[in-house]
Amino acid sequence: MTNITRLLIASFCLLSPVAHAETSPGAGRLLIATELVGGPAFRHTVVLILRYNDAGTLGLIVNRPTDIDPAEALPDLDGVARYEGSLFFGGPVGMHTLRLLLRTETPPEDAVNVFGNVYMVPLTEALLALEPDASSLRLYLGYAGWSPGQLERELLEGSWNIAKATTEAVFSPEPGDLWKRLKPAEILQAAR
């Protein structure tokens, strides 16, 4: 590897919304789909792992905003009309369920830490009364799930690369372009 190549890779690491590639899955990691992943549900996706244990893996696709108005999808929930962000496609499992990610320094009592200052929280009217915006709250319809051993097989097949999640990636103002911006992390993964 030439010095110029090393310098370019090092520069990319400093400028990327992902701090560095990781080699093992876990909560707070991103799964970045490789070109081997086909099908409409996961092609070109970036998945934030929320839970990884012996029971399987649970995650949210963070780069698929929808055109669905949250107020129309959740008409019975007071306060959702104040939310100006998108409703995201979180994955093909449990399409009747809603999950929320909140970026905050003072999490609600029932919040579950995913990484850093990012928490999975239940949707409550009290939460919406805070008038969170799209830079601090994301709503996801459905989720991505893997049975025990399934994700490990897909990793061995080369379907996914793993990177450490950052708030800049998960709460990107341009989520539709996230996969393209993170794809160079595959080079770093392969170099490890």
| Confidence at residue 29, expressed as pLDDT on a 0 to 100 scale | 97
| Confidence at residue 54, expressed as pLDDT on a 0 to 100 scale | 95
- The residue-averaged pLDDT of 110-126 equals 87
**Could you read off the pLDDT of 2-23 as tens digits, one per residue?**
544 443 344 444 334 443 455 7
User: Is the confidence at residue 192, as pLDDT, over 50?
Assistant: no
| Confidence at residue 83, expressed as pLDDT on a 0 to 100 scale | 79
Host domain of residue 24: 3-191
Strands 46-53 and 56-61: antiparallel
Rounded Cα distance, 154 and 163, in Å: 15
| Confidence at residue 139, expressed as pLDDT on a 0 to 100 scale | 92
What's this model's pTM, rounded to 2 decimal places? Answer: 0.83
Nearest to 77 by CA among 135, 138, 129, 143: 129
- The residue-averaged pLDDT of 24-37 equals 94
Write out the two tokens for 8: 């370019």
Rounded Cα distance, 64 and 46, in Å: 9
| Confidence at residue 133, expressed as pLDDT on a 0 to 100 scale | 72
**Could you read off the pLDDT of 82-112 as tens digits, one per residue?**
778 899 999 999 998 889 999 999 888 889 9
Report the mean per-residue pLDDT for the chain: 83
User: Is the confidence at residue 190, as pLDDT, over 90?
Assistant: no
The percent of residues above 70 in pLDDT, for the chain, comes to 79
CATH code of the domain covering residue 100: 3.40.1740.10
User: Is the confidence at residue 149, as pLDDT, over 50?
Assistant: yes
**Could you read off the pLDDT of 33-73 as tens digits, one per residue?**
999 998 899 999 999 999 999 999 999 999 999 999 888 88
Rounded Cα distance, 2 and 70, in Å: 50
Rounded Cα distance, 68 and 43, in Å: 20
Domain count within the chain = 1
How many other C-beta atoms lie within 10 A of the C-beta of residue 46? Answer: 27
| Confidence at residue 152, expressed as pLDDT on a 0 to 100 scale | 95
